[in-house]
Amino acid sequence: MNVLVGIVGSDESIKTLRRAIDRTSDVGDDLTVAVVDKPEAKRSQEEMAQQAREQLSEANVDAEVVTLEGDPGSSLVDYAEQGEFDQLVIGGGTLSPMGKIQLGPITEFVLLNAPTTVKLVR
């Protein structure tokens, strides 16, 4: 399976990346990591790209790490459209006090506009 994982500078994205790397190690997916820029995130785009490379190296997983410019949701969807990906993996979703899932604007945009199956990691 050809998998694209989209990450920003959040703790949630680190968790998403770890799970994608674990799955790739287990089943041999072809993995591409796309780092999008979200200015209000804890970590910069370059810090996340470096962290992704380190985690991939530690897990001995060969994957391409790309940085995307522009609006996070749009750039991720555009990149997914250009490649032949079977699945797009993103982090997202928190639980409301009533137990319902709440999606952020980037996650919602990707879910509604992605040209492929989207796996949401919570």
**Is there a domain that residue 117 lies in?**
no
Question: What CATH number has the domain bearing residue 9?
Answer: 3.40.50.620
**Is there a domain that residue 74 lies in?**
yes
**Is there a domain that residue 7 lies in?**
yes
The domain in which residue 64 lies consists of 2-96
The predicted-structure confidence for 25-75, as pLDDT tens digits, reads as follows 999 999 999 999 998 999 999 999 999 999 999 999 999 999 999 999 999
How buried is 83 (Cβ within 10 angstroms: 0-12 exposed, 13-18 middle, 19+ buried)?
Answer: middle
- Distance CA(89)–CA(3), nearest Å, equals 7
**Is there a domain that residue 116 lies in?**
no
> What predicted TM-score, i.e. pTM, was given to this entire model?
0.93
The predicted-structure confidence for 91-103, as pLDDT tens digits, reads as follows 987 777 888 888 8
**Is there a domain that residue 110 lies in?**
no
Q: How many domains does the chain have?
A: 1
